[in-house]
Amino acid sequence: MVEKNRVVVVGCGIAGLSAAVSAAEFGADVTLLERSTKEERGGNTRWTEAFMRMKNEKEVADDFIEHFLANAGCHLDPSLINETARNYSEWPSIVKALSFADPEVISTLATEAGPTLSWLKEYGIQFSVMPTYLLTQSTTRICPVGGGLALIEALADRAEKLGVKFQYETTAVDLVCDDHGSVAGIRARKDTIKPIEVMGKVILASGGFEGNAEMQARYYGERARYIRPVARGGYYNRGEGLRMALNLGASTCGDFSEYHAQPIDPRSGVSEPIVFNFPYGILVDREGRRFIDEASNTVDAIYENVARTINKLPGGVAYLICDARLDEVDNWQRSVRSDQKPIMADTLQDLATQLEIPVASLTKTVVEFNAATSDGPFSPFELDGLATEYLNPPKSNWALPIAIGPFRAWPVSSANCFTFGGLRCNANAQILDGDGRPIPGIYAAGETMGLYYKSYTGATSVLRGAVFGRIAGRHASGLAS
Look at residue 442 and tell me if it is in a domain: yes
* Structural domain ending residue among the three candidates 415, 437, 454: 415
Look at residue 373 and tell me if it is in a domain: yes
231 and 330 in a single domain? The answer is no
Tell me what pLDDT residue 3 has.
59
Question: pTM of this prediction?
Answer: 0.96
253 and 269 in a single domain? The answer is no
13 and 35 in a single domain? The answer is yes
Instruction: Give the CATH number, domain containing residue 316.
Output: 3.90.700.10
Look at residue 32 and tell me if it is in a domain: yes
Q: What is the tens place of the pLDDT at every residue in 372-399?
A: 999 999 999 999 999 999 999 999 999 9
Look at residue 284 and tell me if it is in a domain: yes
Buried b (16+ CB within 10 A) or exposed e, 436-465: bebbbbbbbbbbbbbbbbbbbbbbbbbbbb
231 and 115 in a single domain? The answer is yes
Distance CA 294, CA 288 (A): 15
175 and 46 in a single domain? The answer is yes
144 and 14 in a single domain? The answer is yes
Tell me what pLDDT residue 299 has.
97
Total structural domains within the chain: 2
171 and 111 in a single domain? The answer is yes
Tell me what pLDDT residue 2 has.
43
State phi, psi for 351 to the nearest 5 degrees.
Answer: -60, -45
215 and 361 in a single domain? The answer is no
Instruction: Indicate the pairing of strand 259-264 with strand 282-284.
Output: unpaired
160 and 35 in a single domain? The answer is yes
286 and 189 in a single domain? The answer is no
143 and 237 in a single domain? The answer is yes
Look at residue 1 and tell me if it is in a domain: no
Look at residue 453 and tell me if it is in a domain: yes
Each of the 481 residues of the chain gets a pLDDT tens digit; together they read: 345 799 999 999 999 999 999 999 999 999 999 999 999 999 999 999 999 999 999 999 999 999 999 999 999 999 999 999 999 999 999 999 999 999 999 999 999 999 999 999 999 999 999 878 899 999 999 999 999 999 999 999 999 999 999 999 999 999 999 999 999 999 999 987 789 999 999 999 999 999 999 999 999 999 999 999 999 999 999 999 999 999 999 999 999 999 999 999 999 999 999 999 999 999 999 999 999 999 999 999 999 999 999 999 999 999 999 999 999 999 999 999 999 999 999 999 999 999 999 999 999 999 999 999 999 999 999 999 999 999 999 999 999 999 999 999 999 999 999 999 999 999 999 999 999 999 999 999 999 999 999 999 999 999 999 999 999 999 999 864 3
Look at residue 403 and tell me if it is in a domain: yes
Strand partners, 176: 185
Look at residue 107 and tell me if it is in a domain: yes
Instruction: Give the CATH number, domain containing residue 61.
Output: 3.50.50.60
223 and 314 in a single domain? The answer is no
* Structural domain ending residue among the three candidates 377, 392, 415: 415
Domain ranges, residue 16? 6-258+420-477
Tell me what pLDDT residue 193 has.
75
In the chain, the largest separation of any two C-alpha atoms, in whole Å, equals 82
* Structural domain ending residue among the three candidates 368, 400, 415: 415
CB contact set of 476 (below 8 Å; sequence gap of 6+): 5, 7, 19, 23, 28, 201, 203, 443
In SS3 terms, the chain reads as: CCCCCEEEEECCCHHHHHHHHHHHHCCCEEEEECCCCHHHCCHHHHHCCCCECECCCCCECCCHHHHHHHCCCCCCCHHHHHHHHCCHHHCCHHHHCCCCCCHHHHHHHHHHHHHHHHHHHCCCCCEECCCCCCCCCCCCCEEECCHHHHHHHHHHHHHHHCCCEEECCCEEEEEEECCCCCEEEEEEECCCCCCEEEECEEEECCCCCCCCHHHHHHHHHHHHHHCEECCHHHHHCCCHHHHHHHHCCECEECCCCCEEEEEECCCCCCCCCEECCHHHCEEECCCCCECCCCCCCCHHHHHHHHHHHHHCCHHHCEEEEECHHHHHCCCHHHHECCCCCCEEECCHHHHHHHHCCCHHHHHHHHHHHHHHCCCCCCCCCCCCCCCCCCCCCCCCCCCCCCCCCCEEEEEEEEEEEEECCEECECCCCEEEECCCCEEEEEEECHHHECCCCCCCCCCCHHHHHHHHHHHHHHHHHCCCC
Q: What is the tens place of the pLDDT at every residue in 215-231?
A: 999 999 999 999 999 99
